[in-house]
Amino acid sequence: KKTILSGIQPSGKLHIGNYFGAIRQHIAMQEEGEAFYFIANYHSLTSLNDGEKLRENTIDVTLDYLALGLDPKKATFFAQSDVPQVTELAWILGTLTPVSLMEKGVSYKDKIAAGLSPNIGLFTYPILQAADILIYHSDIVPVGEDQKQNIEITRDLAGKFNYAYEGEYLKIPEEHIVKSVAVVPGIDGRKMSKSYDNTINIFAEGKQLKKRVMSIETDSTPLDDPKDPENDNVFALIKLFADKEKQDEIAEKYRAGGYGYGHAKKELLGMIEDYFGEAREKRREMAKDLDYVHDVLREGGKKARERAEEVMEPIREVAGIVNHR
C-alpha cells in the first residue's frame, strides 16, 4: 500500500481553494492508500503569532475535515507538533540545504511580496515541509499547483541526505496535482490564500458568504454587452461547482450579453450553499462534542509518531546523533 501524505496550515479558516486544490483529493485518497494528513501548526507560526487563534484554528481545521468526510479510521489525522521527529529531521536536512536553494523559493518570494514579514521560518519553510513528507516514507503528496516547487525541493533534500550518508534512508516522493483545479483564484483574482485575505471560506454562510461572493472582482463590461467567461473570476469559480452542462449554459449567457456579473454571482452563491450544505449540518453537530475531536488528534498523533520514529532512528544512528537518555 502506498503512503499518502499531505498537510494544511491552520493559519485561518479553510477556503474553497483548499477544498478543490487539496482537501477533496485527500478525502478521496483515504480509500486508496495509507493516508497521513496533518495540521501544519509550526508552519503557520510563520504568519500567525496568536496562541489563542492558533489553538482555535487547529480545532476548526479538524472539524472541517471531519465534516467534509475524513474518516479517522481510514486516514491518520494529526497535528504536526505531536510528531517531534519532524522538527528533529528538519534541522538535520537544513544542514544539507544550500542557502541558494531556499533563495529560489517561489512561495517565499510570493509571501514577501504579499506583505508577510521575511522571517527565517518563512525562508526555511520548505525544509520543514520536506521533513513532514520524508519522515513517513511518503510515496504520494496530493497538493495544489503552488506546492510543486516545494515537492521538488523535498526530493532534492532526500537525495542529498541519501548521498551524504550513502544509503536509502529517505524515500523520494511524487506530487499529485489535479490539473483542472490547480489554482483556484481568490476574490481579487490572485491565488486564493488564507494569508491574502481574498478567500471564500468553505463554511461561511448567510450574509457573510453573500458579501464575499458579491465582492469578487470583475471587469467593467456593461450588463448588456457580451462577456468572455474564460476571462472572469466568477466563472472560474462556477466551473468548480457546476457540471459540464451547467457550465456551458452559463458560458452561453455570458457570450450572449444581457447577463451581468451580478447574475453570475447569485448563481455561484446558490451553488456554494448547495454544495457544502450537508457538510455544514454535519459540522454543526460535531462542534457540540469537542472531546471526539481531541480524541481523533490524540490517536492520530500517536500513530504518526510511531511511524516517524521508525524512520528517524536509523537517521540519528548514521548521522552520529547519540542518544544518552
Which residues are annotated as catalytic? 111, 191, 194
Considering only CA atoms, which of 275, 272, 229, 224 is closest in space to residue 250? 229
Q: Which of residues 176-205 bind ligand ATP (CB under 6 A)?
A: 183-184, 191-195
The least distance separating ligand ATP from the CB of residue 74, rounded to whole angstroms, comes to 19
For ligand ATP, which stretch binds (CB under 6 A), given 7-15, 268-276, 301-309, 317-325? 7-15
As a whole number of angstroms, the distance between CA 202 and CA 22 comes to 13
Q: Which of residues 17-36 bind ligand ATP (CB under 6 A)?
A: 17-18, 21-22
Comparing CB distances to ligand ATP, the nearer of 129 and 165 is 129
Cell (9 digits) for 195: 494569508
- Its sign, for the CA torsion 185, 188, 190, 191, is negative
Q: Is 58 in the site for ligand ATP (CB under 6 A)?
A: no
Contact (CB, 8 A) for 138 and 170:
no
Comparing CB distances to ligand ATP, the nearer of 64 and 260 is 64
Q: Is 300 in the site for ligand ATP (CB under 6 A)?
A: no
The least distance separating ligand ATP from the CB of residue 307, rounded to whole angstroms, comes to 21
Sheet holding 140-142, edge to edge: 75-79, 34-39, 3-8, 140-142, 174-176
For the stretch 56-82, what's the b/e string if a residue is b when 16 or more beta carbons lie within 10 angstroms of its beta carbon?
A: ebbbbbbbbbbbbebebeebbbbbbbb
Count of residues interacting with ligand ATP (CB under 6 A): 19
Q: Which of residues 140-169 bind ligand ATP (CB under 6 A)?
A: 143-144, 146-147
Cell (9 digits) for 112: 514577501
Kindly write out the interface string for residues 33-52 of this chain, putting x where it contacts ligand ATP by CB under 6 A and - elsewhere. --------------x-----
Number of H helices, E strands in the chain: 16, 5
Q: Is 279 in the site for ligand ATP (CB under 6 A)?
A: no
Residue 117 assigned to a binding site? no
SS (H, E, C) 138-156: CCEEECCHHHHHHHHHHHH
Residue 192 assigned to a binding site? yes
The residue ranges that bind ligand ATP (CB under 6 A) are 8-9, 11, 17-18, 21-22, 47, 143-144, 146-147, 183-184, 191-195
